[in-house]
Structure 1
Amino acid sequence: MNLFLGVCWEYESTTSLEFNSIDDLDKLLRAINQNEVHHASEATVGTIGILSYDTWIHSACPILISGTCKRETGDEHLKLLEVTINAVEKQRSHTRICTVSITSDGKSKRGHALAMFTMKKQLSPSSLIYSQLHSFQFMNLLVGDDDLMCNKDYKHLFKRL
């Protein structure tokens, strides 16, 4: 399949990215010139890492690379996050991977999306992970569906070292 790359994902649904003829290229360029579609200036990269002491297993594997023009809102980023997590969860029976935490680079729009996705309710005492976490005095025990937790700004970890 021949596809155009370099268009931000927020506008992919407004124009075809398939390259079948020069007319397709003309339509895309017209949409860019009329500001209906934007060039991607950065990429949002989503990875999966398995919690393990073995660094070979623990390494991050990319599962999402999506162009962005950096104009997306937190709500728009939430949609991308939901689609990605749902795709991972649909493969759970094959991969036997359970998503327990999502980490972000700390950018405000991504942090807002993570908060909406993972800070929906207090962790229940009946949760399998409650006994391991409840004694941490300053631990935020807000979770999303399936007790999904987030780390909105991993850079703070390095500041404490």
Structure 2
Amino acid sequence: MAMVRKMFVVGAALMAGGLLGAASPKPAPQSDPAAEITAAERKMEAIYNSPEYQKDPTIIHPYLSPDMILFDVLEPGVFAGEAAIRRADDIASEYPGGKVAFGDMKVHARGDMGYAAYIQQFTGKDAAGRPFSMKILTTDTWEKTDGRWWIVHQQATVPMDAATLVQLVKPKTN
């Protein structure tokens, strides 16, 4: 009888251990959407500055949603879907060898949506070989779909003084 009691106690202890272990599984690792977006932005910055991008600008496509909308500084100003992606490709040929730095980046994210706002300092030579330096204020809106972050909207703005702005928006006369 003592042997049966001992086996019962050992069996009960083993069962309790198994039940307790099953009742408290290891928590799933928490994702940090802002950190994920920041990492994606830094990867894009590296791609833009790579020799591979100059040869094949489509290497940036994995970050761009097929439904992306781009508000660009160049006419017509609004690009959507394939046109937005082609505009991203055009930059490589318009500014071959240009280098970009994403400075003063601020990222905010919650759940499957977020944005990164930063100042692009874009320098180099244009297609005609003339040196250039541009400051572009950029906001990328990101959405996570099926575990993957995509830019669904990008806004690029060039800061300018009031006199220049007035000249740009002044009605044209014949």
Larger Rg: 2
Question: Fold conserved (TM > 0.5)?
Answer: no
TM-score bracket relative to the smaller structure = under 0.3
* Structure with more of its chain in strand, by fraction: 2
Q: TM-score, normalised on structure 1?
A: 0.24
